[in-house]
Amino acid sequence: MYDKIVIGIDQSYKNTGFSVCADGEIKAITSLDLRECENNTIKRAKVKEKLTSIILKMWTRTNSMEVIIERIRLRSEGFLNIDYIKSIGALNSIIVDVCVSHNIPCYSVDTRCWKAQIVGTSKPQDNSFGVDPKKWPTISYIVKLGYERDILIRDTRKRKKPLKGWFDRGEEFFYRYNDDAADSACIALYGFQGDREKLQAEH
């Protein structure tokens, strides 16, 4: 039995990251690819199903469980995107409803907050892997922790050159990093290492 389990979620309609931390140690890093779904309704249903499955799997392993999601960004690069706020708000509501139905507290944390406190920086960093500089610090951090295999995606299609964001390891396949999964792992870690006062209860 664990004293506490935290499920970290980096929610989006493209690829939602899910990670599980138990007593401060990462136990699982994964994501749910939603790009092939026909509409947002189906995507929300799949996120609900995935989260429910994780909760039920962890249910008997602890007496204390919580979920932490990334807080909605009201402005992105100075712009107020109403459509984004509405759609991500609907996705968040599904997550919160699942938590409430299982009597599990759900919190949100600001992106810059968890990056600063867990990764150590929220500033972009250049890299040689074709990764968005904004995403690299988190990926690099998770790799240093020893979880590279959990966030590595292999391209099963043989190409002469890798696509943007993919890199060559001199092997048969090209690879890229799953930044959404990496983000969710850090969000889960925040439940143990971050400032609790910065968490906002969602209900």
Average pLDDT over residues 125-134: 91
- Round to whole Å and give the CA distance between 185 and 76: 23
What is the pLDDT, as a whole number, of residue 75?
A: 60
Instruction: Check whether 178 has a pLDDT greater than 80.
Output: yes
Average pLDDT over residues 46-68: 97
What domains does the chain contain, in order, with CATH numbers? 5-120+179-202 (3.30.420.10)
What is the pLDDT, as a whole number, of residue 83?
A: 82
What is the pLDDT, as a whole number, of residue 99?
A: 98
Look up residue 118 and give its DSSP letter.
Answer: I
Average pLDDT over residues 62-89: 84
CA distances from 27 to 14, 106, 107 (A): 24, 19, 20
What is the pLDDT, as a whole number, of residue 82?
A: 80
Identify the CA nearest to 69 among candidates 45, 97, 36, 41.
97
Helix orientation angle between 40-58 and 82-101, rounded to the nearest 10 degrees: 30
For the whole model, what pTM was predicted? Answer: 0.93
Q: What share of the chain is helix, strand, coil (3-state, %, to 5)?
A: 40, 25, 35
